[in-house]
Amino acid sequence: MSSPPPLAGGAQGPDALRPLLAATLDALRDGAAARNGPLPAGGPAAVTDRLRAAAEPLLPERGTGPETALRTLVHALAEGAADPADPLCAAHLHCPPLAVATAADLAASALNPSMDSWDQAPAASALEALVTRALAALVHPEADALVTTGGTESNQLALLLARETRAPTGSGGPPRLVVGANAHHSLARAAWLLGLPAPVTVPAPTGTLDPTALGHTLTDLTAAGHTVLVAATAGTTDAGLIDPLDTIADLCATHGARLHVDAAYGAGLLFSDSRRTLLRGIERAHTVTLDLHKLGWQPAAAGLLAVRDPRDLAALTHRADYLNADDDTDAGLPDLLGRSQRTTRRPDVLKIAVTLKALGRHGIGALVDQVCDQARRFADLVRAHPRFQLYDTPAISTVLFRPRDADDTDIAHLRRKLLTDGTAVLGRADLGGRRWLKATLLNPHTRADDLAALLDLATPAPERPEGTTPR
């Protein structure tokens, strides 16, 4: 009988991994070279055909061996990837992960702690407790935080805690969620999943929640005896705009409403000495969503939910004798089930911890400042170009712009042509009754000539200066 394949863990694991890592890294390099741009060319059908040709059969009668399988499939995936490390890949809140965080993520996979009981994750559970409190302290000195898969899970947890933690005023019934028209779609979905009433939507005529309209809404809801959860946004998906958090917190305090801030995008500003003031008032929120796989340069997933009063987390208490029996907990074994809605979950905290230790707050803050400054420079390029219109000065690192002579259909077509050609990845947003191209700048290595190339590629093709060949 042949020996089973080697394992990644244990004292022998690193020796087994070393040749496989070499094959993997070679395949990543060669696949990126074959792609030769931010996106594979040809569109969905062509990408699928190339992937199928390389990958099949995926369940052969006899395997190819680990190195061949790695070289084949990693190369195929890299060749067909959208590469956020390419400066011309700038559509979404999709960051290029730091090499140090990615290396740490490999160690997490090799060790494979399962974060649902202490006997599966002794050191990882201790590390998670340290890291979550350190990050929560960026929001409020007494806060705690839970690790999540991202903004969607964090927002759902925030609603769950609001449902289970009754406000001191009101009827004690399920809370009414109040959101701005600019809020992320995950909030309405979370209300539906939790059996809460559909959100009350407050206008956001300038892209941020209107405090006057919010005040009227809170007056009406509290007069009717409702408990209320207000969800503000610090970094909208479309334009990166930040609601007036301090004013909203004042209104919530006046009306006895609970406040959640969805700062999945904007929370990275907390690392920056010069920009953290943009989030003034966030420390007054009961819960705050953070995503470090945006302005934190972590491989997904790396989300958190900060909770100002750690006692609110008691609502997540759950018992399963094989994981957190009462006598084990009484004997001092940490109870991990109340730290997540999930049971089995990987130690995403390790890559975060390594990054925090390696760069420190100032190092991460410097990266945040770099991409925000890039956005300002790109906005200046757009503003100075006679053929483009700028939506507004960027609040964080998102720039909305459009060719002046193009209609909404032209803009959608231009974006899809860039995607099909594989030359640039730009997003789209419909704001103010018009469609805009969206550049979300999250790559701190982007240079001035990359920004110029991005704007050149967004110029409608018939009007390009003759003889120019954009990348």
Report the pLDDT value the prediction gives residue 1, as an integer from 0 to 100: 52
Residue 464 has pLDDT above 50, yes or no: no
Q: Phi first, then psi: give them for residue 435, nearest 5 degrees.
A: -95, 140
Residue 126 has pLDDT above 90, yes or no: yes
In the 3-class helix/strand/coil scheme, how is the chain assigned residue by residue?
Answer: CCCCCCCCCCCCHHHHHHHHHHHHHHHHHHHHHHHCCCCCCCHHHHHHHHHHHHHCCCCCCCCCCHHHHHHHHHHHHHHCCCCCCCCCECCCCCCCCCHHHHHHHHHHHHHCCCCCCHHHCHHHHHHHHHHHHHHHCCCCCCCEEEEECCHHHHHHHHHHHHHHCCCCCCCCCCCEEEEECCCCHHHHHHHHHCCCCCCEEECCCCCCCCHHHHHHHHHHHHHCCCCEEEEEEECCCCCCCECCHHHHHHHHHHHCCEEEEEECCHHHHHHCCCCHHHHCCHHHCCEEEEECCCCCCCCCCCEEEEECCHHHHHHHCCCCHHHHCHHHHHCCCCCCHHHCCCCCCCCCHHHHHHHHHHHHHHHHHHHHHHHHHHHHHHHHHHHHCCCEEECCCCCCCEEEEEECCCCHHHHHHHHHHHHHHCCCECEEEEECCEEEEEEECCCCCCCHHHHHHHHHHCCCHHHCCCCCCCC
The span from the CA of 279 to the CA of 302, in Å, is 21
The span from the CA of 292 to the CA of 454, in Å, is 26
Residue percentage of the chain with pLDDT more than 70: 96
Residue 65: count other Cβ atoms within 10 Å of its Cβ: 10
Residue 399 has pLDDT above 60, yes or no: yes
Report the pLDDT value the prediction gives residue 174, as an integer from 0 to 100: 87
Report the pLDDT value the prediction gives residue 471, as an integer from 0 to 100: 40
* 370 — pLDDT class (breaks 50, 70, 90): very high
Report the pLDDT value the prediction gives residue 171, as an integer from 0 to 100: 52
HSE-CB of 213 using CA atoms within 13 angstroms? 15
Compute the mean pLDDT over every residue in the chain, rounded to the nearest whole number: 95
* 2 — pLDDT class (breaks 50, 70, 90): confident
Report the pLDDT value the prediction gives residue 170, as an integer from 0 to 100: 44
Residue 305 has pLDDT above 70, yes or no: yes
Question: Which of 158-167, 255-264, 389-398 has the weakest average pLDDT?
Answer: 158-167
Segment 290-301, tens digit of pLDDT = 999 999 999 999
Segment 311-343, tens digit of pLDDT = 999 999 999 999 999 999 999 999 999 999 999
Residue 156 has pLDDT above 70, yes or no: yes
Residue 463 has pLDDT above 60, yes or no: no
> For the residues 390-397, what does the mean pLDDT come to?
97
Contacts of 307 (CB under 8 A, 6+ apart): 136, 143, 144, 145, 146, 161, 286, 287, 313
Closest CA to 398 of 279, 242, 225: 242
Report the pLDDT value the prediction gives residue 462, as an integer from 0 to 100: 57
> For the residues 113-133, what does the mean pLDDT come to?
97
> For the residues 118-141, what does the mean pLDDT come to?
97
Report the pLDDT value the prediction gives residue 277, as an integer from 0 to 100: 97
Residue 3 has pLDDT above 90, yes or no: no
Report the pLDDT value the prediction gives residue 466, as an integer from 0 to 100: 38
In DSSP terms, 152 is beta-bridged to: none
Higher pLDDT pick, 170 / 263: 263
> For the residues 181-198, what does the mean pLDDT come to?
97
Residue 169 has pLDDT above 70, yes or no: no
> For the residues 15-28, what does the mean pLDDT come to?
97
> For the residues 243-253, what does the mean pLDDT come to?
98
> For the residues 34-48, what does the mean pLDDT come to?
97
Report the pLDDT value the prediction gives residue 64, as an integer from 0 to 100: 94
* 468 — pLDDT class (breaks 50, 70, 90): very low
Residue percentage of the chain with pLDDT more than 90: 94
* 167 — pLDDT class (breaks 50, 70, 90): very low
Report the pLDDT value the prediction gives residue 121, as an integer from 0 to 100: 97
Higher pLDDT pick, 149 / 463: 149
Residue 406 has pLDDT above 50, yes or no: yes
Type of residue at 162: A
- Please state the pTM of the whole predicted model: 0.94
Q: Give how far Cα 365 sits from Cα of 128, 137, 275, Å.
A: 22, 16, 9
Q: Which strands, in side-by-side order, build the sheet including 434-440?
A: 388-390, 398-403, 434-440, 427-431
Nearest-5° Cα angle at 433, 432 to 437: 75
Report the pLDDT value the prediction gives residue 351, as an integer from 0 to 100: 98
Residue 173 has pLDDT above 90, yes or no: no
> For the residues 127-145, what does the mean pLDDT come to?
97
Report the pLDDT value the prediction gives residue 375, as an integer from 0 to 100: 98
Report the pLDDT value the prediction gives residue 139, as an integer from 0 to 100: 97
